Structure 1
Amino acid sequence: MPTPVTAIFDIGKTNKKFFLFDDSLRQQHREYHKLPAVTDDDGFPCDDLPGLTRWIRDTVARTLADDRYTVKYLNFSTYGATLVHLDADGHPVTPLYNYLKPIPDDVVREFFRRYPEADNNTETASPALGMLNAGLQLYWLKTCKPAVFARIRHTLHFPQYLSYLFTGMLASEPTSIGCHTRLWDYHHRRYHRWLYEEQLDHLFPAVVPTTHTFPATLHGHAVTVGIGIHDSSSALAAYMLRTQDPFALISTGTWSITLNPFTREPLTAHELSRDCLHYMTIHGAPVKASRLFLGHELDHQLKRLNTVFGKAPQYYKQIPFIPALINPDAPDTNTFYPETLNNPALVGDVFKQDQWSPARYSTFEEAYHQVIWGLARLQVASLRLALGNSPVRKLYLDGGFVSNTAFLDLLRSLLPEYTLEVSQRPLGSAQGAALIVRNQDHARLTGMAAATSDASAPIARESLQADPGL
């Protein structure tokens, strides 16, 4: 008898993942897919959108044909700050621009001349982050690539584009709009006025709730397809269903993002300058967050250490935590200092010197412990910004750092007043997407926060024909 399953694509910057969950949310299947990077029309690295689309479609077709499973639901969780622009025929106009791609300084200066930075940052609850402020991508295209911009008829956030591939329906949803896009005015709970003044608002389809689904027939099978969700918000939704006690989630990976849905404190200029911002729950309520490019920094430092000490890339995984190798009282000239974190204010709060040398250490193990000690201190500083004065005393940590015992032990020693619970199965965003598409415990989902008027808007009237090959 085939097992009824919910199929989830969890698309990260590094790994593209596919999961099947049964009705009890037990994992029945998983696969990881590495997608080689390509370059965009300016030569900057980016994800291969056509290649990703082929893999997703092929994986769905293969799973539907597998007589071990009956796919009842399909949903998508992806990284944020990424837009897909469609032409009049519903085809992508541009590459999938990388959120690390720089926007020319003169374009940013002109934007902030028209919409003063301090006010715009506060109103949109986001620091200035270049292309990570995804809304600025449209402003950049309009300014720098007018011929390309003229072809755009619709703009979708990345999760909603993957849903569109199977439904042909155009829609926007709250979590993708609210993740440091600079599109949303958190003070007035609507799109920000700059979007209207630049006449860009019409490109975004109407907003539907994150729990919205579409019926679809895929290769002759009836499947309920979700609208998709931003990955950090998806992970948060899964944890909010676990407990009613105040908590914060530290979601780790390339980015470490601390999410605190239990505070309504407005962001201060001090916090904005240290990469604090607001995300959004599935019903449009703000979530105070702080970001740290933690996994990226660790990868950078491991490459340095591997070169200095002649070790294989995965060598660090076999190193046990040795507390004696951590010296909290070491002088500043003998401590770790990050080199790829674009957050000088936060770094300056933690470290007082501006360079370090792994070659000063006699072994890989000693240098590695110093790196992890420094990263744990940075994580604590970032966490405390997101916590503010909220009543949170429980912390969840999931994602790529759950298997790093040195990091976890150091966090616990630095945060003795908090309970830190670690997820041994880093599936938070995938499981959240599964819960949402199935509308499990819908009363709890609805009760997470009051919905905004936009979040309950009707489905977009515009639709394009779904791919007949499905």
Structure 2
Amino acid sequence: MKAIPVIAIFDVGKTNKKLFLFDENYKIVFERSARFTETVDEDGDPCENLESLRLSVFDSLREVFRNPAFEIKSINFATYGASFVYIDEAGNPLAPLYNYLKAYPEELTEQFYNTYGGKDTFSNLTASPVLGSLNSGMQLYRIKYQNPELFKRIKYALHLPQYLSYLISGEVYSDLTSIGCHTNLWDFTKNTYHEWVKKEGIFDKLAPIVPSNSVLTAAFPGSNYGVGAGFHDSSAALVPYLVNFHEPFILLSTGTWCISLNPFNSSPLTKEELENDCLCYLQYEGKPVKASRLFSGYEHEQQVKRIAAHFGTDIITYRSVPYDSRIIDELAHKTQTDITSFGERNLSDFASDIEAYHQLVLDLVNQQYIATNRVLKGTPVKRIFVDGGFSKNSIFMNLLALAFPELEVFAAFMAQATAVGAALAIHKSWNTKPLPNDIIELKYYSVVQHQN
């Protein structure tokens, strides 16, 4: 039997680490999942077990290379962002993979922003809200001032996707999708590194930038497969939509966070947008993507627990509640419109748990309307694609269609969008077929005619 040509994609999240093999039709033909126990850094703060991750990459690859059913043509990586691996001259890690949630020293924050123009001005130039360790450039700044000996020994600081790529290719590179994601490193007004990066000696620790669709050669003798430079996961998930749809759109990616990504809005962030959790990404072709974030998935989860406890029901009940336009009409007449957060509402005001649940989703959609509009206004966008958890929620989808009657609203279904995006970006390196145009399944939500 002839071996199937495939691409191997490592999709590394904070919790789950997955390896997928895709065939030339972008069908998953192999999948392996791993979870590692976190370790701690020198301060006792939890962090990724970098050595376990490194060994897992090699173990997984050995397994699939030994399998005669597959012929690996290329390998690529998509991982969570805001995480650096610091390596020495020999390529060995010098420090833990510090957690992006690690508390950041207040005095260093003040020192940094006072030196470089103040929080508002600096955040505007770098499209990076003040987020402490989540601004990965600030991790290097901290090391320079708190651990100068370590700073001297660092040959390269590689974002996690590029470190994993380095393990296989032996080549060190930086990638715009990682650099451009709230790192404090990139000046979006000049389309280059911010001046502080050179002034503080950080530039010398950063590897040369390559395009995100670059393909490197593997370091192992006799290897005939390509290695992608690696992707920041949020940018990878956008790639299938950019490949499949050319009319301007917004992707509303829903999970714990609901992120509105507008690849057709490259206007500079305003002070008000930054204060309301807007930021910019750089997509794989190097163009800015304006985005706004809401913590809606988390809020939904907490409030569903509150509803279930109050009405004595099971939270599973709310996984598939059908949309009822009559309930929405009734709520419009009777509920307080000055309350924007469902957490402020008194559950005794609702006749049933289903009525309360409709109000919860209505409140979330009202907040979503404001957040999405921040990146929508002034752009030619005609469509919203919703993927992730809320795309399967008929109340959310119907109310979103009502909130944006001038736009076409679609639920988008695609298995493993992040991994598929990392594969699509280097399509030519491994796939003999044309780019696919049928990997995203869409369900259209029209403005529902309300009953009188």
Contact 1:398 1:428 in 2 (8 A): no
| 1:154-169 to 2 correspondences below 5 Å | 154-169=156-171
Contact 2:392 2:411 in 1 (8 A): no
Measured after TM superposition, the shift of residue 321 of structure 1 is 4.1
Structure 1 position 381 matched with structure 2 position 362: no
**Alignment partner of 2:399 out of 406, 410, 414:** 410
CA distance 1:356–1:47, shift in 2 (3 Å): farther
**Secondary structure, counterpart of 1:75 in structure 2:** strand
Q: TM-score, normalised to structure 2's length?
A: 0.85
For each residue in 1:131-160, what CA deviation from the matched residue of structure 2 results, as whole angstroms up to 9, or x when unmatched? 221111111222233344343221001111
| 1:300-311 to 2 correspondences below 5 Å | 300-302=302-304, 304=306
Structure 1 position 175 matched with structure 2 position 177: yes
1:250 aligned partner = 252
**Secondary structure, counterpart of 2:264 in structure 1:** coil
2:446 aligned partner = none
Contact 1:64 1:219 in 2 (8 A): no
CA distance 1:7–1:187, shift in 2 (3 Å): same
**Secondary structure, counterpart of 1:19 in structure 2:** strand
* Alpha-carbon distance in structure 2 between the residues aligned to 1:209 and 1:310: 54
| 1:305-384 to 2 correspondences below 5 Å | 314=316, 316-323=318-325, 326=328, 327-332=331-336, 337=341, 355-356=344-345, 365-384=354-373
- Deviates most, 329-338 or 236-245: 329-338
**Gaps in structure 1 of 5+ consecutive residues:** 340-354, 446-470
Measured after TM superposition, the shift of residue 320 of structure 1 is 4.0
For each residue in 1:248-306, what CA deviation from the matched residue of structure 2 results, as whole angstroms up to 9, or x when unmatched? 11122233222212133222111111111211122322121112233333344455556
1:448 aligned partner = none
* Alpha-carbon distance in structure 2 between the residues aligned to 1:337 and 1:44: 33
1:203 aligned partner = 205
| 1:417-456 to 2 correspondences below 5 Å | 417-439=406-428
Measured after TM superposition, the shift of residue 317 of structure 1 is 2.4
**Secondary structure, counterpart of 1:236 in structure 2:** helix
* Alpha-carbon distance in structure 2 between the residues aligned to 1:236 and 1:218: 31
- Deviates most, 277-286 or 175-184: 277-286
- Deviates most, 37-46 or 98-107: 37-46
* Alpha-carbon distance in structure 2 between the residues aligned to 1:361 and 1:32: 43
* Alpha-carbon distance in structure 2 between the residues aligned to 1:300 and 1:79: 24
* Alpha-carbon distance in structure 1 between the residues aligned to 2:216 and 2:143: 31
Measured after TM superposition, the shift of residue 181 of structure 1 is 0.8
* Alpha-carbon distance in structure 2 between the residues aligned to 1:242 and 1:99: 33
1:45 aligned partner = 46
Contact 1:399 1:426 in 2 (8 A): no
* Alpha-carbon distance in structure 1 between the residues aligned to 2:300 and 2:86: 33
- Deviates most, 305-314 or 419-428: 305-314
Structure 1 position 397 matched with structure 2 position 386: yes
1:28 aligned partner = 29
Q: What code does the residue aligned with 1:193 have?
A: E
CA distance 1:193–1:325, shift in 2 (3 Å): same
CA distance 1:389–1:89, shift in 2 (3 Å): same
**Secondary structure, counterpart of 2:14 in structure 1:** coil
* Alpha-carbon distance in structure 1 between the residues aligned to 2:56 and 2:346: 42
1:465 aligned partner = none
Structure 1 position 129 matched with structure 2 position 118: no
* Alpha-carbon distance in structure 2 between the residues aligned to 1:45 and 1:198: 28
Q: What code does the residue aligned with 2:385 have?
A: Y
- Deviates most, 185-194 or 27-36: 27-36
- Deviates most, 30-39 or 409-418: 30-39
Measured after TM superposition, the shift of residue 332 of structure 1 is 4.3
Measured after TM superposition, the shift of residue 360 of structure 1 is 6.8
- Deviates most, 158-167 or 278-287: 278-287
Measured after TM superposition, the shift of residue 338 of structure 1 is 7.1
Contact 1:87 1:154 in 2 (8 A): yes
Task: Count residues with an aligned counterpart.
Answer: 429
Q: Report % sequence identity.
A: 39
Measured after TM superposition, the shift of residue 408 of structure 1 is 2.1
* Alpha-carbon distance in structure 1 between the residues aligned to 2:350 and 2:241: 41
Of structures 1 and 2, the one scoring higher in RCO (CA 8 A, sep 6+) is: 1
CA distance 1:334–1:279, shift in 2 (3 Å): closer
Measured after TM superposition, the shift of residue 20 of structure 1 is 1.7
Contact 1:333 1:356 in 2 (8 A): no
**Secondary structure, counterpart of 1:439 in structure 2:** helix
- Deviates most, 413-422 or 30-39: 30-39
CA distance 1:399–1:59, shift in 2 (3 Å): farther
Q: Please identify the structure whose Cα radius of gyration is greater.
A: 2
Structure 1 position 140 matched with structure 2 position 142: yes
Structure 1 position 275 matched with structure 2 position 277: yes
CA distance 1:205–1:356, shift in 2 (3 Å): same
**Alignment partner of 1:193 out of 192, 195, 202:** 195
Contact 1:247 1:260 in 2 (8 A): yes
Over aligned residues, Cα RMSD in angstroms? 2.9
**Secondary structure, counterpart of 1:423 in structure 2:** strand
Measured after TM superposition, the shift of residue 114 of structure 1 is 0.5
